[in-house]
Amino acid sequence: MDRASLEKKLKGVLSPLRYRHSLGVMNLARELAALYGVSPEKAALAGLLHDVAREMEPERLVAMAQQHGLALSESERSAPVLLHGKVGKLLLATEWGITDAEVLSAVALHVTGAPEMSLLAQIIFLADFAEPGRSFFSSHLARTLAKSNRVAALQYVFQQEINYLLNHGFVLDVSTVQAWNQLMINGDLHRGRLANDG
């Protein structure tokens, strides 16, 4: 499918607001990719499609994950929205003709992060938080950081997201905690193996 067809298909499954967010992630991801030495085309594709499963009903997210044999964590069972990255990867691979393993992995990991993430996956994780359509101040700061200091940006975004989850009494996915520990202990995320993303 060419880019225009993908955009048209995406418009059909997302609200206008989330579609606009997806374009924002696409554009920022493309920009960060050029700075980080990653393929801008892959970054744009992963950015555009990262939230493909974001508006699926919780029951459908769980059903699709189970159909494909994904083992659900305790946090995913209690908050199925956490699955929209992994299920997005499944959808893109089975129904959207996306075959690039790195793009699929970046989509899978964008919700929770993980202790091992490729640069492309890190870019999508950062751009999801920092795209200009997110108007809060922390997003603006994350955008500035992402363009100047990748690791500082990762630390900042994980900290913001974990703070948010704790402040609202939401569950923390184990992968998020592991990513945070990896950043604190080793000062960076490992450049990911692709096998480990569901």
Whose Cβ is closer to Fe ion: residue 23's or residue 101's? 23
Distance CA 104, CA 101 (A): 5
Minimum CB distance to Fe ion, residue 123 (Å): 13
Q: 181 forms bridges with which residues in the sheet? A: none
Question: If binding is defined by CB under 5 A, does position 51 make contact with Fe ion?
Answer: yes
Q: How many chain residues bind Fe ion (CB under 5 A)?
A: 2
Whose Cβ is closer to Fe ion: residue 86's or residue 150's? 86
Single-letter code of the amino acid located at 74: E
Q: HSE of 18 in the Cβ direction (CA atoms, 13 Å)?
A: 14
Would you give the binding string for Fe ion spanning residues 54-93, x where CB under 5 A is met?
----------------------------------------
Question: If binding is defined by CB under 5 A, does position 131 make contact with Fe ion?
Answer: no
Whose Cβ is closer to Fe ion: residue 106's or residue 119's? 106
Whose Cβ is closer to Fe ion: residue 116's or residue 128's? 128
Minimum CB distance to Fe ion, residue 186 (Å): 26
Cβ distance 22 to 8 under 8 Å? no
Whose Cβ is closer to Fe ion: residue 51's or residue 161's? 51
Minimum CB distance to Fe ion, residue 52 (Å): 9
66, with CB counted inside 10 A (0-12, 13-18, 19+), is exposed
The total number of residues shown for the chain amounts to 198
User: CA of 149: how far to CAs of 35, 36, 78, 116, 144, in Å?
Assistant: 10, 10, 35, 18, 9
Stretch that binds Fe ion, among 7-15, 37-45, 70-78, 122-130 (CB under 5 A): 122-130
Name every residue whose Cβ is closer than 8 Å to that of residue 113 and which is 6 or more positions away in sequence.
125, 158, 161, 175, 176, 179, 189
Whose Cβ is closer to Fe ion: residue 132's or residue 188's? 132
Stretch that binds Fe ion, among 39-47, 49-57, 115-123, 140-148 (CB under 5 A): 49-57
Distance CA 194, CA 121 (A): 10
Minimum CB distance to Fe ion, residue 87 (Å): 11
Binding site for Fe ion (CB under 5 A): 51, 128
